[in-house]
A = this chain, B = another copy of it.
């Protein structure tokens, strides 16, 4: 087999200049850590506003709940998709008004709903009769958006049937909301995280269009909001269409599904597409090992792994671009994390390469790792502390 020189398309992810800035900033800091660039968060927010001018962004806080990220988006005017009472407390402490929040988790305790209500939140996502019951008691008169089921086919981090309900049940929930004194405000869906098939929106929007019409014509209910969820991609190894392509296609889907009536409010819940490429995890090569005297693929152990923030490498679902500095031939490698857990392997099937010159102690850069990393870290697995986060200054 012919050996190729190592090359890495850094410019697909950031400019060389930005990389050098991150590198300089990182010097002298103990690895591993996440560096977050707030300028990128701002640029991503603006890009989403420009591509979806008709849609209000509700940032999915869970993607990257760093205070500085939340503050940045607060100042830009973003609203927020909130997953738990602890996120609510954080947002309130940062001065986000409750009318810029949606309690987006369909799994909630009645006392949590009461807590949100008491703090002024009036918009709740739901998908089951039992949850509607709880909302009617703990948050009387509130607005509810009913989430439709999507299994997220085509998404790198797909959805399963955990959230949402089929249209038949959604119809009943619209009617039940009215009976329970709630306001059936709209419909929600989520096409699947890192959704690389824009067709997923077509499917969901078609259902939403049909149900808006049914509500108006047959249930005497004027739904107002379409919540299109998240799913817009970040830049990982596997290619995606441009945001422009998503925006054009989704506009057409909306045109096609809403002929006579357009939802009063359309919202999106970007998380990954807002924070993903704003982060770089700086790591170090801890060891390079072979299992036999001669072995084709050396094992490269980093000081960050599945339990230190890279849990989305499960089943190699999310393929982060991993940049090794150095030169020489490209060596095919297996990449694993530093804990004693056998599951803590990052990439064994998908082929990653490093340059010949890479050695133990070298720094390694996990790009586009701003979303679903730091807050996923385990509290102390194997004694390792959670991933540290720094804001690029």
Contact = CB atoms under 8 A, between A and B. Distances in A.
Contact of A290 (B128, B340, B376): B128
A180 interface: no
Contact of A378 (B90, B168, B379): B379
Contacts of A50: none
Interface in A19-71: 60-62, 65
B340 A83 contact: yes
A169 interface: yes
Contacts of A157: 342-343
Contact of A383 (B90, B292, B380): B90
A350 interface: no
A33 to B, nearest CB: 14
B287 A107 contact: yes
Contacts of A108: 286-287
A33 B100 CA distance: 32
Interface string A86-119: 1110100000000000001111111000000000
A364 interface: no
B162 A344 contact: yes
A296 interface: no
Contact of A160 (B62, B127, B345): B345
Contact of A166 (B83, B164, B291, B382): B291
Contacts of A88: 383
Interface in A207-243: none
A117 to B, nearest CB: 17
A10 interface: no
A219 to B, nearest CB: 16
A50 B299 CA distance: 39
Contacts of A163: 340, 342
A377 interface: yes
Nearest to A172: B293
Contacts of A193: 342
A30 to B, nearest CB: 10
A119 to B, nearest CB: 14
Nearest to A378: B376
Interface centre among A60, A84, A149 (most CB of B within 10 A): A84
A340 B375 CA distance: 13
Interface in A322-380: 336, 338-345, 348, 360-361, 374-380
Contacts of A204: none
A166 B128 contact: no
Contact of A289 (B131, B192, B340, B383): B131
B164 A291 contact: yes
Interface of A: 60-62, 65, 83-88, 90, 104-110, 127-128, 130-131, 134, 149, 152, 157-166, 168-169, 172, 192-193, 284, 286-293, 299, 301, 303, 307, 311, 314, 336, 338-345, 348, 360-361, 374-386
6 smallest beta-carbon distances between A and B, as pairs: A86-B383, A128-B289, A87-B383, A84-B383, A83-B382, A379-B386
